Amino acid sequence: MTSWYNACDKAAAIIRESIPVHYRSRTFPGIIGDIKVLSSKKALSLISRKKGLGKQYAWLYLTQGIDQGRGYQACAVEALDSVLGTHREEIIHGRILDTGCAVGVTAGILSLDHIVGFDLFPDLLKAARLTDSFTGTENLYTAADMTHDWPFDCVFDTVVCGMVCHHLKNQKDVVTFFRNANRVLRPGGSLVVTLPAGSVAFAGQMENIIDGLAEFGFQANRKYSGLVLSVDDPRSLFWMFLVVARKVSDTAGRTFISPEFGFPDYRTPVTREQKGEKARLTSTTSRKIKHERFELVDSDMLCKRYGEKTFIFSELSTKNIEE
């Protein structure tokens, strides 16, 4: 049986062959940047019209996003696994739905089988199926838009949203997302949300997320919700945010939530020169680093450590951020 990381390498080599030469120079941040600014309908139309661009996206995901565990996306799932520790199987259990699953990152790294995953882009799902064919895993992947009603009636025990919610562009999409997450979960089921470094600005904002989820019938587990930091290499830093919650009631048709509950991009504007400098640093140091030890600063500690209104991003981004 091939390990999932090796399966990604094998799948990437196969996909690379079929990417038209003129898309091979498209970068990972470039394609993700386009997707982030466009509505989901326009993003899907862009990727489907430009035949081969979706394959380039899948190839970049498998190589730079995964990169044998060194990529940001892969590192996020390893960090999740590490901080949940022995409780992981209690929290991520039973019938699992992976929203915005990309190339099957969560299932691949956590060695989950028979999960259901969906994503907007069919090329990512094809790549997920290809990697599964090397590992012998039988996950079910389907194309769907998380900003419309999800095409599932079944009752899941766990909904995983790994690095996905920051793609929700407005309050309507946020409401659709969490109403659907509540609808497809059985009572008592788990919701596991990870968010990238730039999507939570202030320690106090974690409280807004916890309060906002309560409006959708979820009760956050404060012990497993907070800031996750890598602690093993002073030369570079990985960080993300984690919310673990349980469905305690139905959403009761909620259509409006407080404006504080959202996932805006708080990253400070980066100049072209800074981007170039970061790319150089990334290629020379941090890309060679695989983070292995992580710390969870839980939601109660977060405010004590950083203060409610401190801009966490500036506190942490003096180090070489890997994203």
Ligand X SMILES: C[S@@+](CC[C@H](N)C(=O)[O-])C[C@H]1O[C@@H](n2cnc3c(N)ncnc32)[C@H](O)[C@@H]1O
The count of other CB atoms within 10 Å of the CB of residue 25 is 8
> DSSP letters along 94-140, please?
SSEEEET-TTTHHHHHTT--S-EEEES-HHHHHHHHHHHHHHT---E
Least distance (Å) between residue 145 CB and ligand X:
4
Contacting ligand X (CB under 6 A), which of 84, 96, 115, 124? 124
Residues 242-271 that bind ligand X (CB under 6 A): none
Q: Which is nearer to ligand X, 121 or 178 (CB)?
A: 121
Least distance (Å) between residue 164 CB and ligand X:
5
Least distance (Å) between residue 201 CB and ligand X:
19
Q: Report which secondary-structure segment, H or E, holds 56.
A: helix 53-60
228 closest CA partner among 264, 195, 191? 195
Interaction of residue 179 with ligand X, rule CB under 6 A: no
Stretch that binds ligand X, among 119-127, 184-192, 263-271, 314-322 (CB under 6 A): 119-127
Contacting ligand X (CB under 6 A), which of 162, 189, 212, 262? 162
What are residue 24's phi and psi, to 5 degrees? -70, -15
Contacting ligand X (CB under 6 A), which of 67, 78, 119, 132? 119
In the chain, the amino acid numbered 24 is: R
Measure the CA–CA gap between 29 and 245, rounded to whole angstroms: 30
Contacting ligand X (CB under 6 A), which of 64, 70, 125, 167? 167
Measure the CA–CA gap between 36 and 43, rounded to whole angstroms: 8
200 closest CA partner among 243, 244, 230? 243
Provide the token pair at 282.
Answer: 């990334």
Least distance (Å) between residue 286 CB and ligand X:
18
What are residue 183's phi and psi, to 5 degrees? -60, -40
On the 0-12 / 13-18 / 19+ scale of CB atoms within 10 A, 319 is middle
Stretch that binds ligand X, among 145-153, 223-231, 242-250, 301-309 (CB under 6 A): 145-153
Q: Which is nearer to ligand X, 67 or 145 (CB)?
A: 145
Residues 196-225 that bind ligand X (CB under 6 A): none
How many residues bind ligand X (CB under 6 A)? The answer is 20
Contacting ligand X (CB under 6 A), which of 31, 83, 120, 242? 120
Interaction of residue 63 with ligand X, rule CB under 6 A: no
Contacting ligand X (CB under 6 A), which of 56, 73, 205, 286? 73
Contacting ligand X (CB under 6 A), which of 105, 220, 237, 243? 105
Q: Which is nearer to ligand X, 40 or 219 (CB)?
A: 40
Contacting ligand X (CB under 6 A), which of 84, 107, 115, 164? 164
Instruction: Give the residue ranges of DSSP H helices in 216-309.
Output: 272-284, 299-306
Least distance (Å) between residue 303 CB and ligand X:
27
First to last CA, the chain: 30
Measure the CA–CA gap between 108 and 7, rounded to whole angstroms: 9
Which positions lie near ligand X, rule CB under 6 A? 40, 73, 76-77, 100-102, 105-106, 119-121, 124, 145-147, 162-164, 167
